[in-house]
């Protein structure tokens, strides 16, 4: 069986070599959780991490073989101790061409619903603070997930729509 794949400027390249020429993209999943007042749960990255001092949604990179919904559930539990029983609703995605010189990143966003009052949040060691924030409170907050992204996701959660972002902006 012939396993070569025609590639411009490299005809007959063996498949294993051709695969190495494909773009590598980091894939992550994040969860938008709200309280009864439509405030967003954010976590602050602890010192010593690349994003130290920045606030962002619970979430992280997919493990090998993991799907975006599974990663969202796992990351949410690892970072907050929260396990959601209901389905996560797809809110949208963000494609960023290059993040911190690591190359392209695609973030998948899911809505985890509203947390009941008094729901405990058990932070992982990678976060040193958490809180629920209204968008207006975040104007001068250092964010890992930008304010336009959070605004678009909150709107999608409220309206039942899906948002497609590019570089954190609706496009």
> What is the DSSP code string of 23-81?
PP-EEEEEEEEE-TT-PEEEEEEPTTSTTTT-EE-SEEEPPTT--HHHHHHHHHHHHH-
Tell whether the model's pLDDT for residue 49 goes beyond 90: no
19 pLDDT above the threshold of 90: no
Distance of CA 114 to the CA centre of its chain: 18
Does residue 158 or residue 23 have the better pLDDT? Answer: 158
96: confidence class by pLDDT, cuts 50, 70, 90: confident
What pLDDT, on the 0 to 100 scale, is given for residue 10? 58
| Interatomic CA distance for residues 124 and 143, integer angstroms | 18
Mean pLDDT across the chain: 90
Please give the Cα distance from 61 to 63 (Å, whole number): 6
- From 82, 61, 81, 80, select the one nearest 129 (Cα to Cα): 80
Looking at per-residue pLDDT, the higher value among 7 and 47 belongs to 47
pTM greater than 0.85: yes
C-alpha dihedral, 41 to 42 to 43 to 47, nearest 10°? -160
Give the sign of the dihedral formed by CA 9, CA 105, CA 126, CA 62: negative
Helix (H, G, I), strand (E, B) or coil at 149: helix
What is the average pLDDT across 134-141? Answer: 96
> Is residue 7 over pLDDT 60?
no
- The answer, yes or no, to whether residue 4 has pLDDT greater than 60, is no
């Amino acid at each position: 069986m012939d396993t070569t794949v025609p590639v411009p400027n490299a005809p007959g390249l063996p498949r294993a070599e051709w695969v190495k020429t494909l773009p590598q993209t980091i894939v992550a999943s994040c969860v938008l959780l709200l309280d009864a007042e439509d405030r967003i749960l954010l976590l602050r990255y602890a010192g010593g991490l690349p994003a130290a001092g920045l606030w962002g949604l619970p979430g992280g990179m997919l493990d090998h073989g993991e799907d975006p919904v599974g990663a969202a559930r796992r990351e949410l539990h690892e970072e907050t101790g929260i396990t959601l029983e209901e389905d996560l609703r797809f809110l949208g995605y963000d494609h960023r061409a290059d993040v911190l010189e690591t190359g392209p990143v695609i973030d998948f966003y899911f809505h985890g619903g509203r947390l009941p009052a008094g729901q405990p949040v058990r932070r992982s060691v990678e976060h040193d603070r958490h809180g629920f924030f209204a968008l207006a409170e975040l104007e001068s907050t250092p964010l890992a997930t930008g304010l336009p992204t959070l605004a678009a996701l909150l709107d999608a959660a409220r309206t039942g729509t899906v948002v497609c972002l590019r570089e954190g902006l609706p496009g």
